[in-house]
């Protein structure tokens, strides 16, 4: 049965960047129990996150682990502040620690990866794209070609390889 915290009491949320601003869907990942000490989480429905994204652009995503109570507004403030001052989105800053952030990993989905995913998908309506993070975790997104210029991205899930 899925739950919203791992064995250490951490919750995980998803963020994506649009026009230099981090956006956070107001849903927590459902955490799956694992026998091999990995932490895995998934969104259960595409209603939680579904976005059209340009094929010709790179796109940034993040998984954030939080211990204890948190406010989405504080997390967003910390992410936006860090983005303005650094290219290393996965570094945990003092503002992050004040917002109870204990884990961050950043992922970049490049235009080239999107094109490869679409081209290698064959006749499949929806493809799975795995993106390796900077901190040893993997983000998986469902990708569907929407138009010649856009893809539909949904159903994020992740695995932290501890």
Residue 162 has pLDDT above 80, yes or no: no
- Mark residue 20 as left, alpha or beta (left: phi above 0; alpha: psi -120 to 50; beta: remaining): left
In the chain, where does DSSP find H-type helix?
Answer: 72-85, 94-98, 111-120
pLDDT of residue 34: 65
pTM above 0.85, yes or no: yes
Mean pLDDT throughout 129-134? 93
CA distances, 76 to each of 13, 58, 93, 95, 152 (Å): 11, 20, 13, 10, 24
pLDDT of residue 85: 61
Question: Which residue, 146, 130, 156, 144, is CA-closest to 45?
Answer: 156
Mean pLDDT score across all residues of the chain: 89
Using the Cα atoms of residue 78, residue 15, residue 26 and residue 68 in order, give the sign of their dihedral. Answer: negative
Q: Enter the tokens of residue 72.
A: 């989405």
Q: What is the pLDDT of residues 81-90, one digit of tens each?
A: 877 666 677 8
CA distances, 36 to each of 39, 93, 130, 159 (Å): 9, 29, 20, 11
141 pLDDT band, cuts 50/70/90, is: very high
Residue 122 has pLDDT above 70, yes or no: no
Q: How far apart are CA 14 and CA 124, in angstroms?
A: 26
Using the Cα atoms of residue 79, residue 68, residue 48 and residue 90 in order, give the sign of their dihedral. Answer: positive
Please state the φ and ψ torsions of residue 111, each to the nearest 5 degrees: -55, -40
pLDDT of residue 60: 94
């Amino acid at each position: 049965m899925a739950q919203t915290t791992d064995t250490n009491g951490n919750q995980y949320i998803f963020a994506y960047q649009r026009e230099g601003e981090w956006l956070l869907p107001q849903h927590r990942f459902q955490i799956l129990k694992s026998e091999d000490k990995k932490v895995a989480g998934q969104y259960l429905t595409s209603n939680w996150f579904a976005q059209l994204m340009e094929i010709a652009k790179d796109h940034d995503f993040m998984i954030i682990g939080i211990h204890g109570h948190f406010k989405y507004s504080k997390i967003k403030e910390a992410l936006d502040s860090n983005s303005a001052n650094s290219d290393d989105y996965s570094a945990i800053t003092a503002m992050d620690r004040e917002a109870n952030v204990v884990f961050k990993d950043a992922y970049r989905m490049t235009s080239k990866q999107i094109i490869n995913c679409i081209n290698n998908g064959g006749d499949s309506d929806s493809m799975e794209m795995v993106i390796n993070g900077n901190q040893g975790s993997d983000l998986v997104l469902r990708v569907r070609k929407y138009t010649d210029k856009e893809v539909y991205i949904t159903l994020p899930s992740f695995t932290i390889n501890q």
